[in-house]
Chains A and B, each alone.
Chain A
Amino acid sequence: MFRKILIANRGEIALRVILACKELGIRTVAVHSTADTDALHVKFADEDVCIGPPASRESYLNISAVLSAAEITGAEAIHPGYGFLSENAHFAEVCREVGLTFIGPPPEVIRRMGDKAEAIRTVRHAGVPTIPGSGGLLEDEEQSRQIAERIGYPVLIKAAAGGGGRGMRVVEDAADLPRQLEAASSEAMIAFGVPDVYMEKYLGQPRHIEIQVLGDTHGNLLHLFERECSIQRRHQKLVEESPSTALDAELRARMTGAALASAAAVGYVNAGTVEFLLDVTGEFYFIEMNTRIQVEHPVTEMVTGIDLIKEQIRVAAGEPISFGQEDLKIQGHAIECRINAEDPDTFVPSPGKIRTFHVPGGPGIRVDTASYAEAVIPPYYDSMIAKVIAHGNTRGEAILRMRRGLESFVVEGIKTNVKLQQRILTDEDFVRGRLSTRFMDRFPVPVRKGQE
């Protein structure tokens, strides 16, 4: 087992890993930018090294600074958290070259699953369903028509150089195709400078269902069930839960099977998440694999009783996973709400000094946070300041506990999205489990006076 681990991250996840190390008797090194000198992860680590100025590129993303910090402190392993360097195959490679253990999958696996097209080819080869598509650029109307017939309407025409939900056009039927093809191509040219478009099956109200997987170096690969993350705003998750109301035992078996097949196809080691879109028809499709621990991992921990961070460390130290697939079952229901420092109406980030900070407690409430009263939330990093996780014996109880938790969560001095989360938790569709990735469309940004 490692004697000393360096945590190459900040905020709540850095604190989470540091505290898990304490439980394992492992000494910890925190790295930080000058903006995070008073951060909680720095205060709780055994040692800390300032690695750069506030900008991420010069600090948390600065590979040579992070590695130098490991060198001067004698750290044996690096936990990259999520974001930052966690899916940087080059970083994982350099760690290996200098004799540091990167706590995560091997660099080759990170690289393969990090290339979205390569990942899709790999899992398709393993028999995992992927979104039917043109598989390449659309050349002309005739070819496009044939591809659309094969896929089945409705289809989506997407700009090849686009992303993040931009440059897409829905085609309902064959009659609509020529016009939409023309429009999509010119829009792509205007927005991205390249008229290239491709086609995919259009999923109207899909649900984002992801499966947590965990592999070790002793040949064990297992799943820890699903998380539903359909409630997103601009591709940023807001609320996650486990189990999903959309999965029955049969669908769960098929989806976890597909997730394991995806992970096995690349010889996956350590913690990872396989993401799927679930169509209203009950068909599901692989979209990507995240080769890191995720923000919403506590949801899985609450329903399985497993500490995923400790398992990550054990696996990286060459130990086998401390339990078997047959030991796992979903116990009750867990929901997580991400609390962001942002204006509740405009979603504009709200950095600044926290004056009052009272976290909720009581039965079934867990709060993962590195914020505290008098802490200054810097403007240089993402705006998430806390995660509130509620667990109950049923989904209904988890919802009641979350509402109680949000109500008693007091943050003053900065603005937060607590009220938005409360609206979501009392929304009728949410309560009935009627979710899709279009859920947040009904919570638009109000137009400010004078902007009409």
Chain B
Amino acid sequence: MTSPIVGTFYRQPSPDAAPFVEVGSRVRKGQVICIIEAMKLMNEIEAEIDAEVVEIVVANGQPVEFGEALFLLRPLA
């Protein structure tokens, strides 16, 4: 799954909250999977498909560009 916007990638909604997903988590289409912060706005990024998280490609707090790989997802039937 690639980034739809430019910004800073966060795994959790706030510094002391739990991450949205871990490796092995299952997500439904439309579920918030991460935050990308851009210009002080926290954009909630949703999973595009029902899937299992295979890998979290970028590190927490890493700047990301449009189209950058964020997660490897295995689609669930």
Contacts and interface: CB of A to CB of B under 8 A. Distances in A.
B39 A68 contact: yes
Interface stretch (A69-77, A141-149, A430-438): A69-77
Contact of A71 (B39, B64, B66, B68): B39
Contacts of A272: none
B65 A69 contact: yes
Contacts, number: 42
A204 B67 CA distance: 52
A74 B54 CA distance: 32
A59 B5 CA distance: 10
Given A64-B38, A68-B38, A73 B68 contact: no
Contacts of A71: 7, 38-39
Interface in A41-63: 49-53, 59
A264 B51 CA distance: 62
Q: Which size class do B's interface residues fall under? A: 10 to 19
B66 A53 contact: yes
A108 to B, nearest CB: 23
A323 B38 CA distance: 40
Interface residues of A, number: 16
A369 B66 CA distance: 26
B38 A51 contact: no
A49 B39 contact: no
A52 B39 CA distance: 16
Contacts of B7: 68, 71-72
Interface string B49-77: 00000000000000111111000000000
Given A68-B38, A68-B39, A72-B7, A50 B63 contact: no
Given A65-B6, A68-B7, A50 B65 contact: yes
Interface string A410-446: 0000000000000000000000000000000000000
A98 interface: yes
B6 A69 contact: yes
A29 to B, nearest CB: 11
B5 to A, nearest CB: 7
24 contacts: A34-B66, A49-B6, A49-B66, A50-B6, A50-B65, A50-B68, A51-B6, A51-B66, A52-B66, A53-B66, A59-B66, A64-B5, A64-B39, A65-B5, A65-B66, A67-B38, A67-B39, A68-B5, A68-B39, A69-B6, A71-B7, A71-B39, A72-B8, A73-B63
Interface of A: 34, 49-53, 59, 64-65, 67-69, 71-73, 98
